[in-house]
């Protein structure tokens, strides 16, 4: 898959781990920053990734901040983005199955580093179920 990824300073270290993991799996990734743990503004990075995903240049996006909340709020301002904030494998699967999420949001301060690869796997490996969920997405 072609995946756009970004973080703020709070998610920087998780982003580095996830980028390396995605590359090892053979995915094409583009890292939109940030490039250190120096303080930045998370909406700037959310918009960079979401513009790319909305233009369909990427299959999906991943955004990481301290809680994942700010990134998900900013991402969902884009009408073509369905961003799901996920803290575990179950929410990552469900946001694909039910919400057809095209952006995964993660909170580095609130998510166990040992679970991060499993959560990413669940998001990338799960398909949208369609059916009754399609009707609901049209009401967004
Ligand atoms: C940055 O301090 C922090 O507010 C940010 O990473 C995120 O948690 C916002 O929702």
pLDDT in tens, 94-109: 999 999 999 999 999 9
- Indicate which residue's Cα is closest to atom 3 of ligand 1: 66
If one residue of 6, 7, 8 were mutated to test the ligand 1 pocket, choosing by the most ligand atoms within 8 A of its CB, it would be 8
Question: Do the Cβ atoms of 56 and 86 come closer than 8 Å?
Answer: no
Q: Is 10 a pocket residue for ligand 1 (Cβ < 6 Å)?
A: yes
Nearest to 104 by CA among 38, 138, 58: 58
- Ligand 1 centroid – CA 101 distance (Å): 21
Specify the 3-state DSSP secondary structure of 37: coil
With 0.85 as the threshold, say if the pTM is over it: yes
pLDDT in tens, 121-136: 999 999 999 999 999 9
CA dist., res. 134 & res. 116, Å (int) = 28
Pull the structure tokens for residue 4: 């756009």
What does the pLDDT look like over 18-69, one tens digit per residue? 999 999 999 999 999 999 999 999 999 999 999 999 999 899 999 999 999 9
The runs of H, that is alpha helices, within the chain are 12-24, 42-54, 69-75, 89-97, 116-125, 132-137
| The pLDDT of residue 27 | 98
Is 98 assigned a catalytic role?
Answer: yes
């Amino acid at each position: 898959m072609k995946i756009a990824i970004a973080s703020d300073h709070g998610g920087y270290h998780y982003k580095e781990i996830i980028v390396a993991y995605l590359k090892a799996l053979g995915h094409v990734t583009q890292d939109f920053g940030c490039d250190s743990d120096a303080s930045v503004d998370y909406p700037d990075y959310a918009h960079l990734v979401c513009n790319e995903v909305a233009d369909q240049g990427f299959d999906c996006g991943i955004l990481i901040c301290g809680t994942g909340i700010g990134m998900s709020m900013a991402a969902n301002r884009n009408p073509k983005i369905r961003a799901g904030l996920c803290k575990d494998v179950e929410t990552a699967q469900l946001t694909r199955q039910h919400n057809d999420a095209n952006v995964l949001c993660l909170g580095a301060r609130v998510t166990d580093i040992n679970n991060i690869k499993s959560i990413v796997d669940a998001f990338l490996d799960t398909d949208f179920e369609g059916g009754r969920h399609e009707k609901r997405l049209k009401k967004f």
